[in-house]
Amino acid sequence: MADYLAQIRLVLVKDLRLELRSRIALGQVLPFAVLVLFLFAFALDPDGDVLEVATPGLFWVTVLFSAVLILQRTFALEADDGVLDALRLSGLAPSAIFLGKVSALVVQLLVLEAVLAVGVAVLYDVTFSGIGLLVLVALSATVGIAASGAIYGALSARLKSRDTLLPVLLLPLLAPVLISATRGFEIGLRHEAGGGWSWIGLLSVFALAYLALGAVLFRPLLEDA
Amino acid sequence: MHHGEIVLLRGPNGAGKTTLLKVCAGLVPVTSGTVEVLGRDLTRHRAAVRRRVGMLGHATFLYEDLTVTENLDFWSRAAGATRDDGRAALVRLGVAERLWDLPVRALSTGQRRRVSFASMVCRRPELWLLDEPHAGLDADGRDVIDELMAEAASVGATVLFASHELDRAEGIAHRTVTISGGVIG
Amino acid sequence: MTNTTTPRGDAPSAPAPVGTGSTGTRVLGAVALVLVALTALYGLVISPPDRQLGETIRIIYMHVPTVSVAYIAFIITAVSSAMYLWKRTEFWDLLGASSAELGVLFFALTILEGALWGKTTWGTFWEWEPRLTTSAVLLLVYIGYLAVRAIPADARTRATRSAIIGLVAVVNIPIVHKAVDWWRGLHQGRTVMSTIDPEMGGSQLVAMYLALLAGLIVFVWLLIHRFRVAFLAERAADSGLEHAIEQRRVEGATS
């Protein structure tokens, strides 16, 4: 068991180090995400209530698009230089590789979301109340996005059409996450009590289901897909 | 092939040398017939075989953005070896210490080849599958490769390597296998 | 000799079939036709119109079967995907793929029906109500399955990818349902479809059950044919591959 956790940790550290070195999430995707916030402001009238009301949805749509970009770049790194083959030869358990990758993605996404939250608070003049609920929603949604994203990211990693295929595959799958996370944020921002828990529950079910599925499916995925 | 044997695989371009090596590594699935590697049937036990196999291919099998030592630390520990094994392999392959903290993308082809080799060697595989191991290396490097192959064979590992450099290759190989048009022999 | 099974007892040296029909499917097809005719009779003529919705309720005799069949199709795909990953035989791969195609077809039909019904009843082609929205999301998810299936690859790779998507997608179904129901269910707006009204009696119930049965038989008939087409396509590809290997050997021998 300790060995297994060590393997997960090994992959996690390697992925985070790769991120720091290549600066995908921070250097490329983050500016894109902030840009999207501006685009929404240009498209919707910032003077009225629209932006403020739409903030939860816009936030999560931006997160989803950014997640797709991060996944594309992360798995492109793996697919180049035969590294994916090397991982297969490496002796690491495929499920450990999966969980390590998912952990790294969660970290990257949470950092992104934190910055976006600041951006939203500043640009859309939104005050964040109900922080506890918001954090829980964000956590459960992020794990779900990372887990399902890692599965589809790995599947499309070796394909030339990966850049167009990954969003087509992943975004419909994430529809319930978008719905739940947005509703959760709406409830949190309006400081309603109690209502958010069912959404957090649903997000957690999604996250756990895809963590389990990914851990099981990563072996055939690495091998044959 | 037998333990401790060094086998040279030769043939014209496109004959299937790379494919054969990949099949033995369990990287490419077997579509017909049976292949047994290290006593295990490859059609069913690919993953188990892989752990005991080391491959050097045309790709570097290294993360370009990580440094030499970061790569070696990762790959050695992934295989269950230690970081020291990784560093020792770097020394053995003649990778200068001043290069160790550079990202792999900053290295020349020959240097990358040595690092790839090191990451394979430190895992101490029982079966070595080398696709043109001498390519891209200077004379010094080629000598080191030959020494390493001989050492591996002497401790019971098996080496199968494909090469176009027949003079040097036939010097160290115990026997030669020719492949042409996808057929051996 | 390829690493696949030859289901349905076809001998490898049999002459190529000219169609995918067989006695079994002809019987099945005849039964399906009869059932569809009966359903039309009961659904359109014999059963009375609904108290509130009038004649437009009749679409339910198409809607319930198509949506039920679509779900059954995706469950078959999911089971086939799991079985493929376990057994690695071609049968499960082709079954899953054929079923997924049909599932997409029936889901698309469901949405089309919903749009038509909405247009005649409410005047709009689309409402963001639970059933339609869920169907649309799931349709997109499974179109992804077909997209991946269309990518050229060797049989094993393609089958593994499809199997993975089949399983990933099926897990999503209940989650999408819950999310959409909670979300749109709060809005007591226009619902396009309702399930079988418990107050349905007599000929309405008969029509409903006939419709369900007809839908199922049509689905099975389509599935068998689609599976056979896929099987023949694989055999054609195999012989093409063997031909190519032979040519390579000839080239190798003469070079």
Q: Tell me, what's the pLDDT at C3?
A: 39
* pLDDT of the residue at C187: 55
Total structural domains within chain A = 1
B180/C3 CB distance under 8 A: no
Q: Identify whether C249 is part of a domain.
A: no
Tell me the average pLDDT across B8-24.
Answer: 78
pLDDT given for residue C90 in this prediction: 92
Contact A176 C178 (CB under 8 A): yes
Which residue in chain C has the smallest CA separation from B13?
C252
B171 Cβ under 8 Å from any chain C Cβ? no
**What is the Cβ-side half-sphere exposure of residue B14, based on CA atoms within 13 angstroms?**
6
Between residues A139 and B146, which one has the greater pLDDT? A139
Tokens of C227: 């599976």
Spell out which residues of chain A touch residue B115, defining contact as CB-CB under 8 Å.
Answer: none
Does residue A159 sit at the C interface (CB-CB below 8 Å)? yes
Which residues on chain C are in Cβ contact (under 8 Å) with B20?
A: none
Q: Is the pLDDT of residue C10 over 50?
A: no
pLDDT of C222 over the 80 cut = yes
Q: Closest-CA residue in chain C for A195?
A: C182
Residue C195 scores a pLDDT above 60: no
Q: Find the DSSP H helices in A23-130.
A: 30-43, 50-79, 83-89, 94-123
For residue C4, pLDDT beyond 50: no
What's residue C219's pLDDT? 93
Instruction: Give the gap in angstroms from C-alpha C100 to the nearest C-alpha of chain A.
Output: 15
pLDDT higher at B170 or A114 = A114
Helix (H, G, I), strand (E, B) or coil at B52: coil
Total tally of structural domains belonging to chain C: 1
Taking the Cβ of residue A151 and every Cβ of chain C, the question of whether any pair is shorter than 8 Å is answered with yes
Q: Report chain B residues whose CB lies below 8 A from the CB of C255.
A: 12, 180-181
φ, ψ of residue C47 to 5 degrees: the values are: -75, 145
Q: What is the pLDDT of residues A78-106, one digit of tens each?
A: 887 778 888 888 888 899 999 999 999 99
Q: Which of A141-155, C155-169, C181-195 has the lowest mean pLDDT?
A: C181-195
CA distance A26 to chain B (A): 15
The pLDDT of residue B131 is 86
Nearest CB among B15, B32, B182 relative to C3 is that of B32
Please judge whether B27 and A224 are an interchain contact, meaning their C-beta atoms are less than 8 angstroms apart: no
Task: Give the residue with greater pLDDT, C13 vs C119.
Answer: C119
The partner residues of C50 in beta bridges, in order of sequence, read C54
Contact A33, A111 (CB under 8 A): no
Average pLDDT across chain A, whole number: 89
The contacts of residue B11 (CB under 8 Å, 6+ apart) are: B17, B162, B178, B179, B180
pLDDT at C11: 43
B163 pLDDT tier (thresholds 50, 70, 90)? confident
- Chain B CB contacts of A7 below 8 Å: 78
For residue C238, is pLDDT > 90? no
What pLDDT does residue C17 have? 63
Q: What is the pLDDT of residue A192?
A: 61
Instruction: Answer yes or no: do A165 and C148 touch at CB < 8 A.
Output: yes
How high is the pLDDT of residue C196? 44
Share of chain C above pLDDT 90, in %: 35
pLDDT higher than threshold 80 for residue A46 = no
Distance CA(A136)–CA(B105), nearest Å, equals 40
- What is the rounded CA–CA span in Å between residue C84 and residue C95? 10
Chain A residues near residue C163 by CB distance under 8 angstroms: 220
pLDDT in tens, C68-80: 999 999 999 999 9
Interface check B184 vs C, CB under 8 A: no
Largest CA distance in chain B: 49
At C31 the pLDDT is 84
Please say if the pLDDT value at position A63 is more than 60: yes
ipTM of this complex > 0.95? no
The pLDDT-based confidence of B34 (bands split at 50, 70, 90) is: low
pLDDT grade for A7, boundaries at 50, 70 and 90: very high
> Which range is least confidently modeled, A175-189, B8-22, C154-168?
B8-22
Query: Which chain C residues are within 8 Å of A210, Cβ to Cβ?
Result: 168, 171
- Bridge pairing between strands B158-162 and B6-10: parallel
Q: How far apart are CA A223 and CA B47, in angstroms?
A: 9
Q: Residue B110: enclosing H or E segment and its boundaries?
A: helix B109-121
Q: Work out the average pLDDT over A199-223.
A: 94
Per-residue exposure over A77-89, b if at least 16 CB sit within 10 Å of its own CB, e if not: bbbebbbbbbbbb
pLDDT digits (tens, 9 = 90+) for C57-115: 777 788 888 989 999 999 999 999 999 999 999 999 999 999 999 999 999 998 888 88
pLDDT at B71: 92
Handedness of CA C58, C63, C69, C72 (dihedral sign): negative
Of C109, C175, C167, nearest to C142 (Cα)?
C167
Q: How confident is the model at residue B159 (pLDDT cuts 50, 70, 90)?
A: confident
Most A CBs within 10 Å: which of C148, C154, C165, as the mutation test of the A interface? C148
A123 in reach of chain B (CB within 8 A)? no
Q: What is the mean pLDDT of chain C?
A: 81
First CA to last CA distance, chain A: 28
Touching A: B residues 63-82, CB under 8 Å? 63-66, 70, 74-75, 77-80
Residues 14-73 of A with CB under 8 A from C: none
Between B77 and A132, where is the model more confident?
B77
pLDDT at res. A194: 61
Residue range A61-68: average pLDDT?
Answer: 95
H-helix or E-strand containing C222? helix C203-254
> Domain of C128?
58-193+200-224
Asked if the C-beta of B180 comes within 8 angstroms of chain C's C-beta atoms, the answer is: yes
- Judged by CB atoms closer than 8 Å, whether chains meet at C148 and A169 is answered as yes
Residues 6 or more apart whose Cβ sits within 8 Å of residue A210: A144, A147, A148, A151, C168, C171
Q: Do B47 and A18 touch (CB under 8 A)?
A: no
Domain that holds residue A87: 2-224
For helices A162-173 and C155-185, angle between their N-to-C axes, nearest 10 degrees: 40
* Under 8 Å between Cβ of B25 and B53: yes
C-alpha C163/C-alpha C92 separation (Å) is 9
Quote the minimal CA–CA distance from C120 to chain A in Å: 29
Say yes or no to pLDDT of B105 above 80. yes
The answer to whether the beta carbons of residues B100 and B116 sit under 8 Å apart is no
Residue C48 binned pLDDT confidence (cut-offs 50, 70, 90): confident
User: What does pLDDT average to over chain B?
Assistant: 82
Q: Which of the four pLDDT bands, split at 50, 70 and 90, describes residue C1?
A: very low
CA distances from C192 to C36, C186, C188 (A): 24, 15, 12
* Average pLDDT value for residue range A153-157: 91
Could B29 and A92 be called an inter-chain contact, meaning their C-beta atoms sit closer than 8 Å?
Answer: no
Output C243 or A103, whichever has higher pLDDT.
A103
Instruction: Identify which of A63, A155, A166, A58 has the alpha carbon closest to the alpha carbon of residue A111.
Output: A63
Alpha carbon distance C221, C27 (integer Å): 10
B31, B45, B183, best to mutate vs chain C, most C CBs in 10 Å: B31
- In sequence order, what are the residues at sequence separation of 6 or more whose Cβ sits closer than 8 angstroms to the Cβ of residue A140? A200, A203, A204, A206, A207
pLDDT-derived band at B80, boundaries 50, 70, 90? confident
Which chains have at least 3 CB atom pairs separated by less than 8 Å from chain C?
Answer: A, B
Of B12, B43, B181, the CB nearest to C253: B181
Mean pLDDT of B143-168: 84
Percent above pLDDT 70 for chain A: 97
Q: Is C238 a member of any domain?
A: no
